[in-house]
Amino acid sequence: MRLLLLILTLAGIAAGQDPSPADVLGSIRHRYQGLRDASAHFTQTVQRRYGRAGAATTGTVQIKHGNKYRIETDRQVIVTDGAKVWMYTPRTKQVLIDNYSAKRQTFSPDQFLQGLPKELTPVSAVHADSSIVLTLTPARPDGAMKAIASVSVRTVPGRWTIDHIEMTEKNGTVTAITLREFRMNTGIADGVFRFAVTDSMNVVDVNALR
């Protein structure tokens, strides 16, 4: 059935038709099936509703099932092993330690590994050069993604991995992330998702402040 879905989707694309949004989402999720870990270089920009776009942030991201991820930029390192979160700022040598909570995450790592959060419903899929842009909206206005107006992702037919994400919040903020050198199932060790605290760091336990 999944193979038939893929063939029909590709046939529509070859004929120059805009494919069904549900078919595109199904192809993306099929591609991400069996994905245990992933890594990529990224560039992120944030555009506020009534302000200029902030400076682009570049870095690397590594994610693994079990809500584990490591994000590194020149300004900050964020690491979680699925239980604790470490947020380290090299400039101040301060590390904040907190408990991980998937409820605080708009997109949890596991949701990305499954091929986009299940709370999103596909509404349109249009051609953009050799790519397809799939737009989704929250299925429930009062659900976990109630602050989100829409999410658009870009994918290449036949490859079906996501190389660009654009998330628009209801307050008008637009966050855009471009992924490069995306790699899958390379066997990232669990140790990558633990942060080594040294004596030179100023440690703040967020739980102790609550």
Taking only the tens place, the pLDDT of each residue in 36-81 is 999 999 999 999 877 776 789 999 999 999 899 999 999 999 999 9
What are 124's strand-pairing partners? 135
Q: Determine the structural domain holding residue 17 and report its residue range.
A: 2-209
**What's the total number of domains in the chain?**
1
Q: Determine the residue type at 196.
A: A
| Strand positions, DSSP E, 65-195 | 68-73, 77-80, 84-89, 94-99, 120-128, 131-138, 148-155, 162-169, 174-184
Task: State the pLDDT at residue 106.
Answer: 56
* DSSP summary character for residue 193: G
Backbone angles phi, psi at 196, to 5 degrees: -90, 110
pLDDT(6) > 70: no
Separation CA 66–CA 80 (nearest Å):
10
Averaged confidence pLDDT in the chain: 86
pLDDT in tens, 192-205: 999 999 999 999 99
pLDDT in tens, 101-135: 866 555 566 677 778 888 899 999 999 889 999 99
Q: Give the CATH number of the domain where residue 193 resides.
A: 2.50.20.10
Q: CB of 99 within 8 A of CB of 86?
A: no
Task: State the pLDDT at residue 5.
Answer: 37
First-last CA distance in the chain: 51
Q: Are strands 37-47 and 174-184 parallel, antiparallel or unpaired?
A: antiparallel
pLDDT in tens, 16-32: 567 899 999 999 999 99
Task: State the pLDDT at residue 17.
Answer: 67
Pick from 115, 114, 113: which is nearest to 63 by CA?
113
pLDDT(208) > 70: yes
Task: State the pLDDT at residue 4.
Answer: 37
Considering only 14-23, 29-38, 142-151, which range has the smallest mean pLDDT?
Answer: 14-23
C-alpha torsion sign, points 104, 107, 108, 111:
positive
Please count the other Cβ atoms lying within 10 Å of the Cβ belonging to residue 110: 18
pLDDT(14) > 60: no
Task: State the pLDDT at residue 108.
Answer: 65
